[in-house]
Amino acid sequence: MEQDHFSVFVSVHILFLKDERILLSLRKNISSDGLYGLVAGHLDKGETVTSAIIREAREEVDVVIEPEDIKIATVCHSYNQKNGKEFIQFYVICNKWQGEFKNNEPEKCGELKFFPLKNLPENIVPYIKDAIDKTINGVKYYEYGWHGES
């Protein structure tokens, strides 16, 4: 019996951490407009997770990350009930980078700001807040959106 294969999207999310604070990006003119998220993006065809992380950091916030400074902390298999898409999301911790953070995408990002990990803003994308909690608490793998979470 032949089995149907499905398409899955792969994304990377960077937790830039410094002195118990995390860098968040205020989303603008994109989904979840007005809510904070992480520096993130999708993998391009033929790209590794590490390459995508390095590329997204450079494209979105103008910092350089070395491969050895990336720590994959959490992986999530998520389902978006609104559009029926499945994602494999890699959440990485980065404590070291070169350069100063700069908003390279002002049409999609209202601001970049560090927040205390223990005092995240109220207006944060729900699945991002959950992912930050899971990452900080050492959860290596979890599933999201399959049982009504949004």
Query: Would you state the structure tokens that stand for residue 130, as one six-digit string?
Result: 């959950």
**Architecture, CATH, for domain 9-144:** Alpha-Beta Complex (3.90)
The helix or strand, by DSSP H or E, that contains position 135, with its residue range, turns out to be helix 126-136
Q: What percent of the chain has pLDDT over 70?
A: 97
Mean pLDDT score, 85-105: 96
Mean pLDDT score, 9-21: 96
pLDDT tens column, 49-77: 999 999 999 999 999 999 999 999 999 99
Residue 150: predicted pLDDT = 61
Report domain extents, the chain.
Answer: 9-144
pLDDT tens column, 38-48: 999 999 999 99
- Tokens 């207006």 sit at which residue? 123
**Positive or negative, the Cα torsion across 14, 66, 55, 48?**
negative
pTM of the model: 0.92
CA angle 15-18-19, nearest 5°? 135
What pLDDT band is residue 2 in, cutting at 50, 70 and 90? low
Residue 85: predicted pLDDT = 87
